[in-house]
Structure 1
Amino acid sequence: MKRKFARLFENYIPIWGNKNYLWFLLVSMFSLAGDLVAWVITTWVLTTQFDHPAVYLTALVILTQSAYAIMSPYMGHLVDKWGPFTSLISSTGIRTVILTFLFISLLYVEDGVSPWVIVGLMTLEYIFVPLSKQSEFVMIKVLVRDEEQLIPANALQGIQFDASYIIGPLIGGLFVSTIGIYYGLVLNMASFLFLGIVILIIAKRNKDYRDHFNVEQADNKEAKPKTFINSLKTGISFIVKTPPMLSILLIGFLWNLFVFGPIEVLYPIFTVDVLESNGFVYGLLMSVNSVGFILGLFLAGNMKWKVPFAMTMGILIGLHGLLYFFIGIVPNIVFVCVILFLGGIVIAPTDIFSKTIRQKMIPFHMLAGVSSVLAFFSFISKPIGAFLVGSLINTYGNQYSGYIMACLGLILFIACMVISFRPVMKKI
């Protein structure tokens, strides 16, 4: 029994000995959960304290996501220039100050504070979110220097991310309903303070990381800090000149265009008008997908992958599209729940592969910059996909949302299969 249990966690055992990584994982989870608490509180205040909340909520989503996407390349450049520790501590400090002003503004909501002040402060905070995210991504490379441990390390971070998305909203709802919204924002600021202190300690223990990755070699001109424009050009050039990386960008673009963007519009409409169900079923569909994703991350992180990462990633995303094809043509609640659970398992390894490929292929001195450029070009297709599916539903009617989902899933499957079996995809 003990051997079977040990075998179940075989790939994760070496990671448990990496105290710096485990502390980083823990404080990252707390800070992300704190972020989500702040988001729940802010959206709740905008919904309950002001007239026409849909206007403010729509503006909040558009402005925060646009700020995140637009600022990602520049923040990635700063991480490459400053290093992950300085960048994460700086972003944590700046975001704490902004949240303090948000806390003060919420104290005076009943005295006539404009909802646009709240929306503006949240948008300002989201400008610095990519600085935190790219710092955390590079931090994994710094703290987990054995490349064989990158897959389980990235898997654990993915599990931590999803766990935060379960814990954060629950805590936020608790503060909104019983404890008080102001204490929730204090908790968020406290989580940032905890993160900053722990990262300072970890930074002192890893002073040698620049020497380890040869970041400051005098004869390496590419390693020297550049202006943002030069850094952006270098990042785009690296992607274009690296066919597997370009293919991964294209696959990510297509996935956001045909599945990830559209499902945010399709899910509620499909639930009501095709499955003829209520909000409970809508929440159930989201939950079973998340459970499948967490299970998939755990299983993928514990496997010895002997296949080309890029090709496997493309195939799995294609299969994910095929599952949505079946959901669209067989609108049965039990069947849809089973498929979404399987879909979570299928898509989970792609998150690990995407991070591991970048950590292995991109030189350390441009890791955050190139990754943020990849994220930007993949992300811009998400609102396009949402707009596309919204237009189709408005044209053909809500009752055709299942068939629209099926068509988009099938297109993604065919496109990913064509891209994935190109010879360059077998090189990683």
Structure 2
Amino acid sequence: MFRALQYRNYRLFFAGQGVSLIGTWMQQVAMSWLVYRLTDSVFLLGMVSFANQIPSFLLGPFAGVISDKFNRHRVLLVTQFLLLLQASLLAYLVLTDAITITHILVLGAFAGIVNAFDMSARQSLVVHLVDRREDVSNAIALNSSMFNMARLVGPSVAGALIATVGEGICFLINALSYLAVLSSLFLLRLPPMTRSLDKENVFKSLGEGFSYAFGFAPIRTILLLIASLSLFGMPFSVLMPVFARDVLHGDASTLGLLMGASGVGALCAALYLASRKTVLGLGKVIVGASVLFGVGLIFFSFSQTLLLSLVCIFFTGLGMILQMASSNTLLQTIVDDDKRGRVMSFYSMAFMGMAPIGSLLAGWAAEKYGVHYTLMACGIICLLTILPFALMLPKLRLLVHPIYQRLGILPEIAIGLRSASQLATPPQQDKV
């Protein structure tokens, strides 16, 4: 389950990112609670999420070109330092009681711009931190485990800190956590990364990456599925402060419990994926996980008690990460390395870029129709979006088989084809 940790580079990356992500999740919970406390507006909750994530949608493709043309390690060093500055300024404004909703929107948009470049470079760098190709899927799954372990720890700690000392300490801890990831990046020992700095312009490179990604049905279908689930499913996390305070009549610690329960489910999903030894069968996992996500969201929308809400949100988090991480693993497996940055930027664009649009719509719908009906509608739409993928799965499986054979993932099929060829050859020709 933990075989990717045998590599020194990956261990350093894993440790640094793990510490930083705990701070990130603490900041996210503190931010949601702060905005709702200052404004009492569900729409502004969605607006803050929109400002933070829409740059991933707008800049993601260009970030992919940068990731493919320049040293991804150096790109990460720059983006992590800029995020350290953003978190430090946010902590200062909150601790001095100078924070306003305008500050939050501007700093959120700045972080979103940086994250657009950070996500593409980080996703693309992971494959270079392990020496053997067969361990890449395990590294991706462990990345997801790390993300969701932080998602479990961060909100729980944040909820307790907000209830006792306020939101400012959470922002300060997040700023300090970036020192860990920067240290780990400086300690990496990577071979020289040569990038073709040819005279091909950015738009031509972007068009090439778009044609590659959307011209191949398996990549195109996975990206569209991620986009639809992010648009209609991911906004549930934006509505958590409303659910915690107005439906369950709790406080910041209740929000921390809900986010933590979702994190436990997500962590279980990531550990399951890490225990898998092959990418075979992930298509069925994606279908099952998407159904679980939609059903969990529907049941959560009807919940009125904390215990039932925690159970429902556990399965929602389980299905969400199982679907997203499985899709990430499949994409990383079948994509060509020279186009990896651009394809992963489209993944980030679908995953993080569609979520802000959904958050804005969910915030508007929750104010107009109520949080219960909004979440129920999101769950139903998520169930409907998985149908085209499920129907196309047999065809998609045939299209990726040649790639699996070339990578040695399906040697038994190659043997089977040779055997069939020998059986089809007449005996006299075989002797000749």
TM bucket, shorter chain: 0.7 to 0.9
Question: For the residues of structure 1 that align with 2:256 and 2:367, how far apart are their CA atoms?
Answer: 24
Alignment of 1:71-110 (within 5 A): 71-106=59-94, 108-109=96-97
Letter in 2 for 1:296: A
Question: For the residues of structure 2 that align with 1:412 and 1:32, how far apart are their CA atoms?
Answer: 30
Gaps of 5+ in 1: 1-10
Q: Paired residue for 1:138?
A: 124
- Out of 297-306 and 407-416, give the one that drifted further: 407-416
CA contact (8 A) 2:161 2:169 kept: yes
Q: Displacement, 1:417?
A: 1.9
Q: 1:410–1:90: structure 2 CA closer, same or farther, 3 Å change rule?
A: closer
Question: What is the aligned-residue RMSD (CA, Å)?
Answer: 4.0
Q: Secondary structure at the match of 1:128?
A: helix
Question: For the residues of structure 2 that align with 1:225 and 1:232, how far apart are their CA atoms?
Answer: 14
CA contact (8 A) 1:317 1:413 kept: no
Q: Displacement, 1:93?
A: 2.1
Alignment of 1:337-352 (within 5 A): 341-352=314-325
Q: 1:355–1:226: structure 2 CA closer, same or farther, 3 Å change rule?
A: farther
Q: Paired residue for 2:25?
A: 36
| Residue 367 (str. 1) matches residue 331 (str. 2) | no
Question: For the residues of structure 1 that align with 2:9 and 2:111, how far apart are their CA atoms?
Answer: 27
Choose the corresponding residue for 2:284, options 312, 316, 319: 312
For residues 182-228 of structure 1, the C-alpha deviation after alignment (integer angstroms, 9 at most, x for no partner) is 665554333223322321220xx2124x3xxxx55xxxx7x847433
Question: For the residues of structure 2 that align with 1:189 and 1:255, how far apart are their CA atoms?
Answer: 31
Question: For the residues of structure 2 that align with 1:296 and 1:392, how far apart are their CA atoms?
Answer: 30
Letter in 2 for 1:312: K
Letter in 2 for 1:421: P
Q: Paired residue for 2:9?
A: 20
Q: Paired residue for 1:4?
A: none
Q: Paired residue for 1:154?
A: 140
- Out of 191-200 and 378-387, give the one that drifted further: 378-387
| Residue 70 (str. 1) matches residue 61 (str. 2) | no
Choose the corresponding residue for 1:126, options 97, 101, 112: 112
Letter in 2 for 1:21: Y
CA contact (8 A) 2:145 2:267 kept: yes
Question: For the residues of structure 1 that align with 2:41 and 2:299, how far apart are their CA atoms?
Answer: 33
Q: 1:196–1:421: structure 2 CA closer, same or farther, 3 Å change rule?
A: same
- Out of 98-107 and 238-247, give the one that drifted further: 98-107
Letter in 1 for 2:190: N
Q: 1:315–1:189: structure 2 CA closer, same or farther, 3 Å change rule?
A: closer
Q: 1:421–1:144: structure 2 CA closer, same or farther, 3 Å change rule?
A: same
Q: How many residues align?
A: 398
Q: Displacement, 1:338?
A: 5.3
CA contact (8 A) 1:290 1:344 kept: yes
Q: Percent identity?
A: 19
Question: For the residues of structure 1 that align with 2:157 and 2:224, how far apart are their CA atoms?
Answer: 37
For residues 344-396 of structure 1, the C-alpha deviation after alignment (integer angstroms, 9 at most, x for no partner) is 44554433332222222222233122211233245554455556667777887
Alignment of 1:175-186 (within 5 A): 176=162, 184-186=170-172
Choose the corresponding residue for 2:183, options 197, 211, 217: 197
CA contact (8 A) 2:32 2:238 kept: no
| Residue 427 (str. 1) matches residue 409 (str. 2) | no
CA contact (8 A) 2:291 2:386 kept: yes
Letter in 2 for 1:238: Y
Q: Paired residue for 2:230?
A: 256
CA contact (8 A) 2:298 2:375 kept: no
- Out of 177-186 and 120-129, give the one that drifted further: 177-186
Q: Secondary structure at the match of 1:305?
A: coil
Q: Displacement, 1:28?
A: 0.6
Letter in 2 for 1:36: W
- Out of 66-75 and 242-251, give the one that drifted further: 66-75
Q: Displacement, 1:303?
A: 2.1
CA contact (8 A) 2:217 2:396 kept: no
Q: Displacement, 1:75?
A: 2.4
- Out of 19-28 and 276-285, give the one that drifted further: 276-285
Q: Secondary structure at the match of 1:427?
A: helix
Alignment of 1:345-424 (within 5 A): 345-383=318-356, 385=358, 404=377, 407-423=380-396
Letter in 1 for 2:86: I
CA contact (8 A) 1:308 1:426 kept: no
Q: Secondary structure at the match of 1:96?
A: helix
Q: Displacement, 1:109?
A: 3.7
Q: Displacement, 1:86?
A: 0.2
- Out of 299-308 and 36-45, give the one that drifted further: 36-45
Q: TM-score scaled to structure 2, two decimals?
A: 0.75
CA contact (8 A) 1:308 1:427 kept: no
- Out of 384-393 and 412-421, give the one that drifted further: 384-393
Q: Displacement, 1:26?
A: 0.9
CA contact (8 A) 1:151 1:356 kept: yes
Question: For the residues of structure 2 that align with 1:37 and 1:403, how far apart are their CA atoms?
Answer: 27
Q: Secondary structure at the match of 1:304?
A: coil
CA contact (8 A) 2:80 2:182 kept: yes
Q: 1:260–1:74: structure 2 CA closer, same or farther, 3 Å change rule?
A: same
Q: Displacement, 1:84?
A: 1.9
CA contact (8 A) 2:54 2:356 kept: no
Q: Paired residue for 2:405?
A: none
Q: Paired residue for 1:243?
A: 217
